[in-house]
């Protein structure tokens, strides 16, 4: 079931904390610096209707302060989330204890999926807080959910989605544009590169150096003379290789060891305990 929200006046707000990261008001940032052009879809997965309605009420409070087109999709179980075939959900508020499929099971299944952009856990089971930390996870919120926590999760999800730039590649018949979040890794061949996405791959006549310069400052990092990887898709890293979310193993070049280690650790920190709105 989908419930549609309304847009009202925008007003300033105070700073607050979730996952140790503080920030100020993002309302003006969203409206004046971001070019949001799509409907924001908020998912709520909880087996109790009163908790789902509470999340909707808190979100409506935020969208009253910061008007953006939005709607809600409600789920009563993890299985319903798995079977969802609609548009991408920007932020899923996810309960942990829900019958056969827990919220942690849902997170595990959705790690490499783009149909859910970000997740905020909602639970009374604080002992599971550390189990929820992931690149997709914005926060662990104790029930009843605090407004400031819900607000921050909405702000960060919107900001990070707006920063999901499009990358351009040269093909034999023109240019191809693809969102950064779709790219897993890029491999250099003799006179071209192969771009591996979540679903398939394609050939581009750009050099690896050209692509690296084009994506400088993003989550894409050089790990070898022949590889660029999107850190969003790195599942595990050792001194010699990275393991991608699909199981692909890519060697780390000797000259890149220190840079890759520092770069990946900084990235993990920035998207888990250091997410900021500035």
Domain boundaries, given as residue ranges, for the chain = 2-162, 166-272
Q: What is the pLDDT of residues 116-142, one digit of tens each?
A: 999 999 988 788 888 888 878 999 999
Say if residues 44 and 173 touch (Cβ distance below 8 Å): no
Report which secondary-structure segment, H or E, holds 33: helix 27-33
CATH architecture of 166-272: Beta Barrel (2.40)
**What is the average pLDDT across 3-11?**
30
Instruction: Calculate the dihedral angle through the C-alpha atoms of 136, 138, 144, 147, rounding to the nearest 10 degrees.
Output: -140
| Residue range 2-162, CATH number | 3.40.50.2300
Say if residues 15 and 23 touch (Cβ distance below 8 Å): yes
Kindly give the interhelix angle for 147-162 and 49-65, rounded to the nearest 10 degrees.
60
Using DSSP's 3-state secondary structure scheme, residue 271 falls into helix
Q: What is the pLDDT of residues 169-224, one digit of tens each?
A: 999 889 999 989 899 999 999 889 999 998 899 999 999 999 999 998 889 999 99
Q: What is the pLDDT of residues 65-113, one digit of tens each?
A: 999 999 999 999 999 999 999 999 999 999 999 988 999 999 999 887 8
Q: What is the pTM of this model?
A: 0.67
């Amino acid at each position: 079931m989908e419930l549609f929200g309304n847009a009202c006046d925008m007003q300033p707000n105070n700073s607050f904390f979730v996952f140790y990261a503080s920030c100020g008001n993002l309302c003006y940032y969203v409206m004046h610096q971001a070019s949001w052009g799509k409907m924001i879809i908020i998912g709520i997965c909880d087996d109790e209707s009163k908790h789902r309605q509470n999340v909707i009420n808190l979100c409506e409070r935020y969208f009253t302060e910061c008007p953006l087109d939005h709607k809600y999709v409600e789920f009563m179980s993890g299985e319903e989330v798995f079977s969802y075939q609609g548009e991408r959900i920007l932020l899923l508020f996810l309960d942990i204890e829900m019958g056969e499929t827990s919220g942690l099971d849902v997170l595990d299944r959705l790690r490499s999926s783009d149909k859910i952009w970000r997740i905020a856990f909602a639970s009374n089971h604080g002992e599971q807080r550390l189990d929820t930390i992931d690149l997709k996870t914005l926060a662990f919120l104790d029930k009843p959910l605090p407004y400031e926590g819900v607000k921050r999760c909405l702000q960060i999800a919107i900001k990070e989605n707006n920063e999901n730039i499009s990358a351009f590649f040269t093909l034999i018949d023109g240019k191809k544009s693809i969102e950064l979040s779709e790219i897993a890794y890029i491999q250099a061949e003799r006179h071209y590169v192969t771009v591996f996405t979540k679903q398939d791959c394609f050939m581009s006549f750009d050099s690896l150096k050209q692509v690296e310069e084009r994506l400088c400052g993003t989550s894409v990092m050089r790990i070898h003379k022949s590889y660029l990887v999107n850190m969003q898709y790195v599942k595990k890293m050792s001194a010699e290789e990275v393991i991608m979310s699909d199981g692909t193993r890519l060697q780390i070049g000797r000259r890149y060891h220190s840079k890759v280690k520092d770069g990946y650790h900084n990235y993990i920190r920035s998207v888990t305990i250091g997410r900021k709105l500035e």
